[in-house]
Amino acid sequence: MLREIGGKPLIMHAFERASEARSVSEAIVATDDARIFDAVHAAGGKVVMTRADHASGSDRIAQVALELPEGSIIVNVQGDEPLISRATIDAAVEAIVNDESAQMSTTCEPIDSVHELLNANVVKVVVDDKGYARHFSRSPMPFPRDAALRYGGSLEEALIAEPEILSIFRKHTGLYVYRREYLLRLTGLPQTRLEMTESLEQLRALEDGARIRVLEAVGRSIGVDTESDLLRVRELIEGR
Please give the model's pTM, rounded to 2 decimal places.
0.87
pLDDT reported for residue 240: 60
What is the rounded distance in angstroms from the CA atom of residue 79 to the CA atom of residue 73?
A: 18
**What residue numbers bound the domain in which 54 lies?**
4-237
Read off the pLDDT of residues 71-89 as tens digits, 9 standing for 90 and up. Answer: 999 999 988 889 889 999 9
For residue 226, is pLDDT > 90? Answer: no
Can you give the C-alpha Rg of the chain in angstroms? 18
CATH number, domain with residue 174? 3.90.550.10
Cross-strand partners of 158: none
What is the rounded distance in angstroms from the CA atom of residue 106 to the CA atom of residue 125?
A: 10
- Band of residue 224 on the pLDDT scale cut at 50, 70, 90: confident
Average pLDDT, the chain: 93
187 and 58 Cβ atoms separated by less than 8 Å? yes
In the predicted model, what is the mean pLDDT of residues 207-226? 90
pLDDT reported for residue 56: 83
For residue 162, is pLDDT > 90? Answer: yes
For residue 174, is pLDDT > 80? Answer: no
pLDDT reported for residue 216: 94
Read off the pLDDT of residues 149-159 as tens digits, 9 standing for 90 and up. Answer: 999 999 999 99
What is the rounded distance in angstroms from the CA atom of residue 52 to the CA atom of residue 29?
A: 14
For residue 147, is pLDDT > 80? Answer: yes
Q: Is the link from the previous residue into 190 a cis peptide, with omega within 30 of 0?
A: no
Total number of domains in the chain: 1
Query: For the stretch 74-85, what's the b/e string if a residue is b when 16 or more beta carbons lie within 10 angstroms of its beta carbon?
Result: bbbbbbbbbbbb
Read off the pLDDT of residues 92-138 as tens digits, 9 standing for 90 and up. Answer: 999 999 999 999 999 999 998 999 999 998 999 999 999 999 999 99
